[in-house]
Chains A and B, each alone.
Chain A
């Protein structure tokens, strides 16, 4: 289990992480979701003792990272697949990692096998494709057979096959009862990977819920209604739903009532409807809506 309490990190004037608290439970994949620059990587670095928080702390199974005796046996992390020396072979890279935590060379060969790099173990890591580098990083995270795993954007730049491989891998790790925290800036990706979501924006917590609940809330249906008696209908609906007007054609957009109830209400009051259509928002649209205020860099709108 990972517990973050009031984590705060400033880099000069920028507040990268702002009073962030959450818990990550064992036995499921927890997605750590936020737009670019939200503070995901910074938070992970603080959990792993690489960066010192200005305030707050992060505990892993009740201990700070620096208090762990053989850290790789408790926590495995893949923060950046490029953190290898390009002129060192994959096997040598894993060997020094293993040695530092009293892990045998046999285990090195085991994890190489698990991620499918046995055939290229003697090749220099600098010549690896992104997918191979990512696998090497995962092998490193698995070396100590840890109960807690952290992955920072592990599918970034991978092809669909690689993405599916990693996704299944995480599910297996969680099914073993491990704690798995995976960051991403894509809700559509997390929707398929994570059971639980921690959503942050501008370093602040936006939500921590199950993925299912989050998606349901985020994409809750709207209903488009057009009627010659729009004004009257609007008054009738105002009590039980939120009603806005479509900016383009002036149709009513009703939020909080299903199409059947709206139709019944209209009929009971003798109102003619010209359109009554349910609208399902896309995941990404909902995510953007939710994190809109907190996205750090808006693309210049034209």
Chain B
């Protein structure tokens, strides 16, 4: 408990997390507003459509999560931390928990914010969240944000440098996972096992967010939505375990 309080003080006593949080929310909610304003009879607004840009927020939150570790390495405060708390694993788990909880809260703010602003802009659209698919699509965003924050903390801990960690996360999440589908034949099969694809499957499986034919072809996932979430969680936590083992062993 004490360690959680320590990491909370650390996180909130500098400005950059606040900036990242504000950016994640305004960017995503702003995009949702833009989409809602441009929907029409051909492309009607729905709960799913209002959520289509939550990835934007997720990327920003992953940057924030990675920074929470890499700035500690950059400024040497990680050594001060390990002096105060020689149990490195506990200290880093506390940091991960604080960052993940914060990411989860932001995820919910982003999701319900996007939904709310869409509802305001098009009060006549069918925006009731009344199926389990729609609930998963909106409220599930917090879970995905939290888990991707865990993954980002793990990458930050392994790489230790801000530029490197952020580059890896951005290139991987934005480019690698979608471009790999372009490899003929096997590309799509690989994609069906990639973590962020599963995160997306959890959020959007069975929803009719996009009209038939729009967007990338649907993948044939090995799991249902909750299986996909579990798979995404396993990869994030697995990477964190590796990162903790490395941090424990190496010189601070």
Contacts and interface: CB of A to CB of B under 8 A. Distances in A.
Chain A complexes with chain B: yes
Interface of A: 45, 48-52, 65-66, 68, 71-72, 77, 79-80, 82-89, 92-93, 95-97, 99-102, 140
Given A83-B80, A85-B14, A92-B13, A51 B251 contact: yes
20 contacts: A45-B251, A48-B83, A50-B251, A52-B249, A65-B86, A71-B85, A71-B86, A72-B83, A79-B79, A80-B76, A82-B76, A85-B13, A85-B75, A88-B13, A89-B13, A92-B9, A96-B6, A97-B80, A99-B5, A100-B84
Interface string B1-40: 0110110011001111000000000000000000000000
B86 A66 contact: yes
Nearest to A49: B86
Interface in B207-226: none
Interface string B34-61: 0000000000000000000000000000
Interface string B52-83: 00000000000000000001100111011111
Contacts of B86: 49, 65-66, 68, 71
Nearest to B78: A83
Nearest to B94: A100
A292 B198 CA distance: 64
B252 interface: yes
A66 B71 CA distance: 24
Nearest to B72: A85
A45 B83 CA distance: 10
Contact of B9 (A52, A71, A86, A99): A99
Contacts of B75: 82-86
B77 A84 contact: yes
A71 B84 contact: yes
A52 B251 CA distance: 6
Contact of B76 (A52, A83, A92, A101): A83
Given A71-B83, A83-B79, 11 more contacts: A50-B79, A51-B251, A51-B252, A52-B251, A66-B87, A71-B86, A85-B14, A92-B9, A93-B13, A95-B9, A100-B6
Contacts of A93: 13
Nearest to A101: B84
Interface residues of B, number: 27
Contacts of A100: 2-3, 6, 81, 84-85
A202 to B, nearest CB: 20
Contacts of A102: 2
Contacts of B85: 71, 100
B164 to A, nearest CB: 20
B27 to A, nearest CB: 23
Which of B71, B81, B86 has the most chain A CB atoms closer than 10 A to its own CB?
A: B86
Contacts of B3: 100
Given A83-B76, A96-B10, A72 B84 contact: yes
A290 to B, nearest CB: 30
Contact of A140 (B2, B15, B76, B80): B80
B76 to A, nearest CB: 4
B5 to A, nearest CB: 6
Nearest to A95: B9
Which 8 interchain pairs have the tightest Cβ spacing?
A: A83-B76, A92-B13, A100-B84, A51-B251, A96-B9, A50-B252, A66-B86, A100-B6
Given A96-B6, A96-B13, A50 B82 contact: yes
A49 B88 CA distance: 11
Given A51-B252, A97-B84, A100-B85, A87 B2 contact: no
A266 to B, nearest CB: 61
A71 B87 CA distance: 11
A87 B9 contact: no
B72 to A, nearest CB: 8
Nearest to B7: A96
Residue of A50, A82, A96, A102 with most partner-chain B CB within 10 A: A96
A105 to B, nearest CB: 11
Most chain B C-beta atoms within 10 Å of own C-beta, residue among A66, A72, A97: A97
A50 B83 contact: yes
Contacts of A52: 249, 251
Contact of A83 (B14, B77, B251): B77
Nearest to B249: A52
Nearest to B74: A85
A85 B71 contact: yes
A102 B249 CA distance: 26
Contact of B15 (A49, A87, A95): A87
Nearest to B12: A92
B157 to A, nearest CB: 16
A106 B185 CA distance: 66
Contacts of A82: 75-76
Interface in B85-100: 85-87
A91 B76 CA distance: 17
